[in-house]
Amino acid sequence: MHNNVACWNWWTAQLRRLAVALTLCHLLFHSSASAATGGGTGAAGDPVVALKEYLSTEPSITRISFVEIPLASKRAPNRTYVAAYCPDGYYLRELKPGDDYLQPISLSNRMHSALFVGKYQDVSWQINGFSVGKSVNPNIGTPDPFAVFSQTAQAILEGTINLGSKHVKPGSFQWNGDEFTARPSAFMHQMQPELVSIRGKVIVRDGRVVEMQNYESGSWLYEYEDSTNRPGWFPAKIKHVGGPHYEIDEIWAVREIQFASPETVVKDLLPETHIVPQIALVTLYSNSTLIGAPKPDDPHVVDVVKREIGSAGQPRGGMGRRVLVTRLVLFGTAGAFLVALTYFTLRRGRPQ
């Protein structure tokens, strides 16, 4: 009998140890999963705490894809973007049907939009077709075109990262309950250099943040959907409201967001990652001074230009080398005009 009791106690102790081990494994697994999808879910899994923590720390996002849906203008098309972001820089690319953004641009994998812009530390860049423009350490007083385009695209992306306002520097939110103060973004500083702080608050309902009110920029409503492509606390839809009737005039639908360490994100922040180097025709600015550009008489340049123009359905015969390269420059400039147009629209349009 004594042996039976001892045996029973031994097995009970082993089962307890096994239960503790399984519990620890469960916690470790979910902790790792949370870190991979958004750095945790806040205290005790609170979605409100998680969202506030996200806005208080500059994020490292290895991929975010979203759709911009303008409602104020019936003629404005929806635009789909993919991007990455970390404290060292970002990239933003508009996607069109047929774009495979997971593979570098090549002769067999061409880009179909005119907006592909990025920045890494003091290097700003743009890709359009097979043209690559790079700006190193631009002069702030007289920035070159690629530096200007980079600043504009960054403002577009930061609006989504901030869950609304492109006027706030990501990661600068400081909380006092549901009220916040934040630092202005570089974009906001250009428009209001005297502004040193931005104030606002969030509205919480049923355990989630359902609205953000930015006293300088307007209000945004949030909707949530269950998805494995986003943390549960991250809104699936961000809706800007404004005007005298407090109407929704624009929506950002976030399809996917993946978080990673800055070291992982950095590898995607230079153009060399996104285009096969053999076809890249590079224009380089340094300190806002043109350093180098494709030469019209270079046989390699002419060959690449022919391939690019041929892909656009343009005739190949009967064109001199300088005409070919001139057309390539025009194709590259088309992207510049698109971004510049966006820039002036943002400057003249309603605050966001």
63 within domain boundaries: yes
Q: In which element (H, E) is residue 200 found?
A: strand 198-205
Position 341 scores a pLDDT of: 45
Does residue 343 carry a pLDDT above 60? no
CA distances 198 to 22, 168, 205, Å, are 47, 7, 23
Domain of 198, in residue numbers: 46-348
Band of residue 43 on the pLDDT scale cut at 50, 70, 90:
low
2 within domain boundaries: no
Greater confidence (16 vs 285) lies with 285
Q: For residue 131, is it left (φ>0), alpha (ψ between -120 and 50) or beta?
A: beta
Position 302 scores a pLDDT of: 54
- pLDDT, averaged across the chain: 78
225 within domain boundaries: yes
String of DSSP letters for 231-265 = -TTS-SEEEEEETTTTEEEEEEEEEEEEE--HHHH
String of DSSP letters for 69-90 = EE-S-SSSPPEEEEEEEETTEE
> Domain total for the chain?
1
Does residue 176 carry a pLDDT above 60? yes
The answer to whether residues 248 and 239 touch, using CB atoms and an 8 Å cutoff, is yes
Q: Which residue has the tokens 């390269």?
A: 325
The mean-pLDDT minimum among 14-23, 106-115, 155-164 falls in 14-23
String of DSSP letters for 270-318 = SGGGTB-GGG-EEEEEETTEEEE---TT-HHHHHHHHHHHHHTT---TT
291 within domain boundaries: yes
83 within domain boundaries: yes
243 residue type, one letter: G
Q: Which residue has the tokens 């029973």?
A: 8
The whole-number average pLDDT for the span 174-181 is 96
Count helices and strands in the chain by DSSP H and E runs? 7, 15
Position 163 scores a pLDDT of: 95
Which tens digits make up the pLDDT trace of 294-335?
665 556 555 655 555 555 544 444 444 444 444 444 444 444
The answer to whether residues 195 and 211 touch, using CB atoms and an 8 Å cutoff, is no
28 within domain boundaries: no
Position 139 scores a pLDDT of: 77
Radius of gyration of the chain from its Cα atoms, rounded to whole angstroms: 25
Beta bridge partners of 127: 132
186 within domain boundaries: yes
CA distance 147 to 289: 12
Does residue 248 carry a pLDDT above 60? yes
238 within domain boundaries: yes
Q: Which long-range contacts (CB under 8 A, 24 or more apart) does 290-296 make?
A: 290/144, 294/131, 294/325, 294/328, 295/325, 296/321, 296/322, 296/324, 296/325, 296/326
Q: Which of 110, 62, 96 is nearest to 267 (CA)?
A: 62
